Structure 1
């Protein structure tokens, strides 16, 4: 792994600094919003602005990369993100913060696209899995450390915003001074949402509600903690536990999904996540037990994204995976946009523990739909299941999947399908036909 990572040291260093800033920013805004007496409903809308910008960036930035290149795009977006962060303590009102949050999400979507295409370009079929593992380790490690930075200064002042801006700005330096060649980049045409639903209904529905629940946890965790009266060090540790749980549980749960029917694992993990959210409500008066339960909630819910993605990819070949990746980001982004406002308005109308009830509902719906899908389609033979791969909900991680062999769909190639519809033609016969075929096999 060391040899594979060595060639991308600048990229991983820059990524780590970016994630330090991003993780701290998400928690800081929630805490500061409570200090500024923003209504919870408005705070939820502000926080969802990140995902609106992220979705827009996922669609627009690839065109920018093609026009001006990776290095210039990375530098421009890092500058935009850094500036947006600095403007938060200057214009302290929900509308300004919402706009700045959209700009931040837009910038980070582009930064991820550049980073992931660079990592993919530096990977071979033999090293892609190692590179992805290190990529995920950097992301989760930086998110964990970022929560400790909340203790560096008073959240009611401007210092923490300045620190975030510095982290993002410094992230550009190792990238710009490295000798790593910039990769070529071509944005592929994406499959429609209906096509992907026909491929894997559970994958699409699961990704939507997973990101809805995870966006609530990430965006409103600081809001909840401040509302129930936690101190800044307590809030820092509270959010840290969620990311530590995600880091520790990601691979063990993924391994179980390689051994058992993946739909069963998704259902069990989803129901356990929902139950853990309820447990947080019951134990919220005991800070130590709440920390433990919140760590479990983060650990159980974090792998759900990769589980749903792996379940979808089980039915796709490498060319289809790349064509599906952009649409999966769209599905995930839509779920993330709706999650924080819905939970925040519930917190405002009912009680702070609606934060946990909101996440529990999202994860319980995944479990219910997984059980329903088990009655509609036979399980995929274990030999045909691909290996679980821990993936981040970012625009271009499909290219980092070790199952992707580098053979992208290209309609200009004579042996490749001419359109996305032809690429997914095998799935467009309709789900009823698939069910009829399975019943015929069972009857025979």
Structure 2
């Protein structure tokens, strides 16, 4: 495993800096929008702009990667994201912010696709679960670390926006200086296509959307849920932290396990446990803060690692020529789920009160279970021993000048 990860350290370091800056930027924009008096609906539209851009970028980015390679695409889109962070300062207008947030989502779609397709192409199926678990842990830890950067300045001033731009710009350094080129597939890469993703794994396509809905719903509405339950602001922050830490702690053990058992079966089992846990909380009128933190940790540990497991499951079925196309399709489905999930859960919150959140989360998780059980009756999962026969694409080391990726 060490030999697999070491050549990818620069990629993971660049991705870590991007996630750190994006974690800070999301919280910063929500706070600054409130200070500017934009209102709840307008602020929601600003945040939704990111997912609109993510959806568009999932179609465009694979073509950029096929044209100029992984490293150049990463560098270009990280520069765009860095510039976009400063545009929020130049134009304090909600409609401009919606457009800029869309641009940021577009850039991050490409950055995620570069990272995930590079990782998937650089490892055999036998180790894919563990590597994607490391990737998930890096993303979660960096996003959480970005929240602490909020204490370095006043959201009403310019310094935090500049800090976001600085960290995004620094993400270019590791990958620009790496001696390892992006992966080279045998033959041309397939264009992005949801039909292709569906053909490879109907279960993976739908589950990616439902996992995205679950994660987007928790991060988007758990603070409102806790606020309606009467918890203090400090406890609300701890709830979000507990959710993230739960995923961080269980990410690698579950990734390791997914390399030894059916990934689809494991993800269905996690969803069943998550759905049951959420349904069991419905009769509890007002759990204590300690119980709430334990529940947050548990659901995070069940939901967050499922994202990497679903990605690995789909890539087990994908040929080398479809790696980039599959990554784009998965990002699109996750983005759609993350945009629609909070809207549906919001309706339940308005209708049923705080109980609407666990009901929505439980519904998304049980939908994964139902879909997984149906797919198991129609198509078998790749056997574990078959994964060992799938070699990674060979990494290319740059000697002398950087050559163009082909």
Distance 1:134 1:30, change over 3 A: same
Distance 1:320 1:333, change over 3 A: same
The 1-side partners of 2:73 and 2:318 are apart by 31
| Equivalent residues of 2:132, 2:255 under 8 A apart | no
The 2-side partners of 1:371 and 1:219 are apart by 29
- Deviation per CA, 1:130-163: give whole Å up to 9, x if none: 7655444422321232233344445555543333
1:105 to partner: Cα distance: 1.0
- 2:398 equivalent in structure 1: none
- 1:26 equivalent in structure 2: 26
The 2-side partners of 1:107 and 1:4 are apart by 27
Q: Equivalent of 1:308, from 307, 310, 313?
A: 310
1:356 to partner: Cα distance: 3.8
Q: Equivalent of 2:369, from 367, 370, 394?
A: 367
**Residue 249 of structure 2 corresponds to residue 248 of structure 1:** yes
The 2-side partners of 1:115 and 1:379 are apart by 29
The 1-side partners of 2:281 and 2:92 are apart by 32
Q: Which aligned pairs between 1:122-161 and structure 2 lie closer than 5 A?
A: 123=122, 134-155=134-155, 158-161=158-161
| Equivalent residues of 2:78, 2:172 under 8 A apart | yes
The 1-side partners of 2:251 and 2:90 are apart by 39
1:86 to partner: Cα distance: 3.2
Alpha-carbon RMSD: 4.0
Distance 1:237 1:274, change over 3 A: same
1:301 to partner: Cα distance: 0.7
The 2-side partners of 1:275 and 1:209 are apart by 16
Distance 1:146 1:97, change over 3 A: same
1:213 to partner: Cα distance: 1.6
The 1-side partners of 2:247 and 2:203 are apart by 22
The 2-side partners of 1:41 and 1:273 are apart by 30
- 1:422 equivalent in structure 2: none
Distance 1:58 1:204, change over 3 A: closer
- 1:210 equivalent in structure 2: 211
**Residue 254 of structure 2 corresponds to residue 267 of structure 1:** no
1:108 to partner: Cα distance: 1.5
**Residue 385 of structure 2 corresponds to residue 405 of structure 1:** no
* Secondary structure of the corresponding residue to residue 171 of structure 2: helix
- Deviation per CA, 1:102-142: give whole Å up to 9, x if none: 11111112233444566678x57699757655444422321
* Secondary structure of the corresponding residue to residue 302 of structure 1: helix
| Equivalent residues of 1:24, 1:164 under 8 A apart | yes
- Deviation per CA, 1:293-316: give whole Å up to 9, x if none: 112111101122233344445555
- Deviation per CA, 1:239-260: give whole Å up to 9, x if none: 2222211122223334555666
Distance 1:80 1:264, change over 3 A: closer
The 1-side partners of 2:291 and 2:148 are apart by 20
1:34 to partner: Cα distance: 5.7
Q: Equivalent of 1:298, from 300, 303, 314?
A: 300
The 1-side partners of 2:163 and 2:373 are apart by 46
* Secondary structure of the corresponding residue to residue 205 of structure 1: helix
Where in structure 1 are there 5+ consecutive unaligned residues? Answer: 388-401, 408-444
Q: Equivalent of 2:333, from 331, 334, 359?
A: 331
* Secondary structure of the corresponding residue to residue 100 of structure 1: helix
- 2:239 equivalent in structure 1: 238
Q: Greater shift after overlay, 138-147 or 231-240?
A: 231-240
1:331 to partner: Cα distance: 2.9
The 1-side partners of 2:373 and 2:115 are apart by 37
* Secondary structure of the corresponding residue to residue 188 of structure 1: coil
- 1:162 equivalent in structure 2: 162
Distance 1:301 1:238, change over 3 A: same
1:211 to partner: Cα distance: 1.4
| Equivalent residues of 1:245, 1:299 under 8 A apart | yes
Where in structure 2 are there 5+ consecutive unaligned residues? Answer: 395-406
Distance 1:405 1:100, change over 3 A: same
